[in-house]
Structure 1
């Protein structure tokens, strides 16, 4: 086991540039073109939301550490770099990833117990033979080349909380914690160092804490969780639509150049006037948001911290945008639709036997 992230197998073998990741997936898609064409799955992020929910469904039945779910999701990310989703029983794989992660995170469960709980949760797709889960575990370990140790952003976030210059509140920490949990539905575990994900989550939490409070989406973080991150719940960010709108408003304004307004157009009426009024109102709201951010002493401290820390600002911006896009895509999530699609694929390809 590596003593730190910088010498870990995660950094050496399981961290990719977005371009390299796209290349790996394109090659995989070409190799499995027929299966993918016959059973197209929705956006990868939506599939990971579905898999995350299945992990939590299984975890409710068994005592577990929070990082078991996070580690299992990373295992799934890695596995799907060599195996298309259409070529595997996702329910059996999810149960196996949880079982393996629970051992890695030193919170083990007996294989028969995990298999029995998975069978009870998904009787149609999880075989009763315990050996099938053992075979899938061997396959999962093999595909990851026995490189099972995963470094997570939670400890880095705690370290940021202890930085006196940043002055993070528990509310901001709780919001950042949920954003980190949501990052496992994106490619960030494969493209970013854990500390960078923690910084992104902290930045977004500070910027959008007022919106989260207004939307009632805050989930307070307990002192027990601060002392022992494994004890906290694997909570997600709720009220995603409101926050997604705020994300886009701020980022949009930061990227906008000054263009002439629509005042040169003829005076609108009817729907055109209503549309213009809405646009003007949104512009005013965005301007107020940007002004508030610029006047925030805490945000200025964070900006100073980012400059002095020497992190890759360009990578942070791109990764922040990836988090923002997740909340946009999340609005399209339909568990029933994905469940039906997966079911048809498993039955058609006889992957449930």
Structure 2
């Protein structure tokens, strides 16, 4: 599945284990500790992922970007902050730069002045009028990413899986609402570390599992319970025969459930104020 992924820089250079990701962040923490700014604990990192997710989508909407472009920008941002502390940089400039570079990578180019202007419209206190600042950040970003910019996403894997499911048994064909919900859940997964930890098809299968098993009875209320149960059993058989690592799926389901629980309690304004104080020494209360 997604054959090109297996030979990609994503797999060979930017796929972490949980242990190696924790080690990378520990090094960032060590740098923060040396500078007296250490607050980058596990829970704080999870909250930051949600905040960056929101920021990228704010700018993406301003620029009318495709979802894939925003997803690539989010991967760049996630990778960058495994090496660089949020307290070393202007995070809003980094987010704008990730979006700008992602537009070029995904062949949806935006003029640097346009990105600068729209970023300033969204975050007027944090982004200057000067487009050369994004140009400078671009070199910094690409250097930290080791110039590996091609990203493989779960969207293609989702389409491959749905085709395979229909071929396996027509009863597994997704209705439009199921497909849309799975796509939306993949979008949400970028607010986690999943794409740093797993191949794209694992994430696609995780989101399919959550829709097919956990939400399908809600999406198909007119179907008798026995019919829904039989379909879930068919899907379980499909997964069992697919060779996909089921333990990873179970682990990722828990991660996604935890994400939604955190999201319910996430206070964007509070977090923005925290960044203002930490990065610029200002108070917005």
Task: State the TM-score, normalized to the length of structure 1.
Answer: 0.72
In 1: Cα distance, 2:159 partner to 2:204 partner: 9
Shift of 1:195: 0.7
Map 1:17-28 → 2, pairs under 5 A: 17-28=17-28
Task: Give the length in aligned residue pairs.
Answer: 271
Match of 2:254 in 1: 321
Q: Matches of residues 243-322 of structure 1 in structure 2 within 5 Å? A: 296-322=229-255
Paired residues of 1:35 and 1:87 also in contact (CA < 8 A) = no
Q: Which residue of 2 aligns with 1:138?
A: 139
Does the C-alpha gap of structure 1 residues 330 and 149 become closer, same or farther in structure 2, counting only changes over 3 Å? same
Query: CA-to-partner distance for each residue in 1:145-171, whole Å, 9 max, x for gaps?
Result: 110000001111112222312322222
The answer to whether the 8 A contact 1:39-1:345 is kept is no
Tell whether the 8 Å contact from 1:35 to 1:86 is kept in structure 2 after alignment: no
Q: Does 1:203 align with 2:206?
A: no
Corresponding residue for 2:96? Answer: 95
Any conservation in 1 of the 2:202–2:248 contact (CA below 8 Å)? no
Contact persistence 1:96–1:136 (CA under 8 A): yes
Q: Give 1:58's aligned residue.
A: 59
Correspondent of 1:172 among 175, 178, 185: 178
In the alignment, structure 1 residue 192 sits paired with structure 2 residue 125: no
Say which of 187, 196, 208 aligns to 1:181.
187
Residues 208-230 of structure 1 deviation map (CA, whole Å, 9 limit, x = unaligned): 3257559xxxxxxxxxxxxxxxx
Q: Distance in 2 between matches of 1:162 and 1:73?
A: 27
CA–CA distance in structure 2, aligned partners of residues 38 and 190 of structure 1 = 22
CA offset digits 1:271-291 (Å, max 9, x no partner):
xxxxxxxxxxxxxxxxxxxxx
CA contact (8 A) 1:5 1:11 kept: yes
| TM-score, length-scaled by structure 2 | 0.88
**Cα deviations across residues 220-252 of structure 1 (Å, max 9, x unaligned)?**
xxxxxxxxxxxxxxxxxxxxxxxxxxxxxxxxx
Secondary structure, counterpart of 1:64 in structure 2 = coil
Verify: 1:9 aligned to 2:9, yes or no. yes
Report the CA distance between 1:90 and its aligned residue. Answer: 1.0
Structure 2 contact 80–144 (Cα < 8 Å) conserved: yes
Distance change (3 Å), C-alpha of 1:49 and 1:293: farther
Q: Take 2:216 and 2:180, find their aligned partners in 1: how far apart are those partners? A: 13
Q: CA deviation at 1:120?
A: 2.1
* RMSD (CA atoms): 2.3
* d(CA) in 1 for partners of 2:226, 2:176: 19
Shift of 1:173: 1.0
Structure 2 residue aligned with 1:332: 265
Bigger Rg, which one: 1
Please say if residues 217 and 228 of structure 2, whose CA atoms lie closer than 8 Å, have aligned partners that are also in contact: no
2:264 is equivalent to residue 342 of structure 1: no
Structure 1: which 5+ runs fail to align?
215-291
